[in-house]
Amino acid sequence: MPARSRNTEEASKPTFVFKGTVQAVKSATMKQVPVDSRTIIVTVDQVIEAPENLAKFAGQEITVQLSGSQKVKPGQQLVFNTVTWIYGDSIAVRALSQEPVKSSRMAALAAAGDPVERRERRQKRERFAAADLVVSGRVMAVRLPGEATQKTKGVRAAGLTKSPPIKPVSEHDPKWREAVVEVGDVHKGSHAKKQVVVRFPASMDVMWHNAPKFHPGQQGFFMLKKSEVEEPEATPKKKTAGKRSVKATGLKSKVEGDEAYVALDPTDFQPFTEPGGVKAIIESTEGDLDK
């Protein structure tokens, strides 16, 4: 199998956490891996958190590039917090950190269930903590950006819509859409109105395919960030998309007088039918407030 690299320059959180035993130093399980003083071979003893494709790596030898200048020796056991690096006949990962094994922590983790579910629960907690607004509700409609504004002003009916300048289509064009969500309850943040507008990329491009794709009738929990999507121009039906930025760091982008929000991560939406997750986080948060 040919080796395949992943860009981890922006990775700041571990995706594969495991307890492992060092087997060899200055060595690797694949010839494609550049070997230096921080490159070691480790047996995965226990998977703690992992995506589904790595959940069954217990008992296998993999390559680890250590974080920092810490010295290790064969036979030493550590907990490795890593991100994936190279796939091939084996895998190579880069450690964001490595730490001593604490029996109390390992016992708690052993009782905490499946490593894939554990990772998903952590991701949901992190998204909930980072969200500007968390609501439960139902998707009432999905529309093109600017569509409601045009209808409200009667621009189309009057035949006054002007075509925007033609711009090149990016291969990573997100194909923005807006979901109009009827709000049942607000669980975090402040939102007094009965509806909230959620922008999401409809594109299935590799950059956007994991983002939630909304359709009318969906019901569940929405964990939202304030939008930094540039205001769309009024456009005719045949539209050529221009370049827009998405950073979700707090720029107030107005849609019909309201703030718009974005949902870009697969964990930003959870159906009511999915057990645990966001509902459990909300219930635990409400319990903390009651104390």
pLDDT at 228: 57
The pLDDT tens digits for 184-219 are 999 999 999 999 999 999 999 888 988 999 999 999
Residue 239 has pLDDT above 50, yes or no: no
Render pLDDT for 21-30 as a digit per residue (tens, 0 to 9): 999 999 999 9
Residue linked to tokens 């959180």: 13
Which CATH number applies to 4-112: 2.40.160.20, 2.40.50.140, 2.40.50.120, 3.40.225.10? Answer: 2.40.50.120
Domain chopping of the chain, boundaries: 4-112, 128-290
Beta bridge partners of 135: 186, 222
pLDDT at 211: 93
Tokens 């019909």: give the residue: 256
| pLDDT value at 159 more than 70 | no
Weakest mean pLDDT among 5-9, 42-46, 80-84: 5-9
Please state the rounded mean pLDDT for residues 135-146.
93
Three-class DSSP category at 173: coil
The pLDDT of residue 207 is 87
pLDDT attached to residue 85: 94
DSSP codes of every residue in 198-245: EEEE---STTTTTS----TT-EEEEEEEE--PPPPPP--SS-------
pLDDT surpassing 80 at residue 99:
yes
Contacts of 25 by beta carbon, 8 Å cutoff, 6+ apart: 37, 39, 40, 72, 73, 74
CB-facing half-sphere around the CA of 15: CA atoms within 13 A: 15
Whether domain 128-290 has CATH 2.40.50.120: the reply is yes
pLDDT value of residue 231? 44
Other Cβ atoms within 10 Å of 39 Cβ, number: 19
pTM (two decimals): 0.58
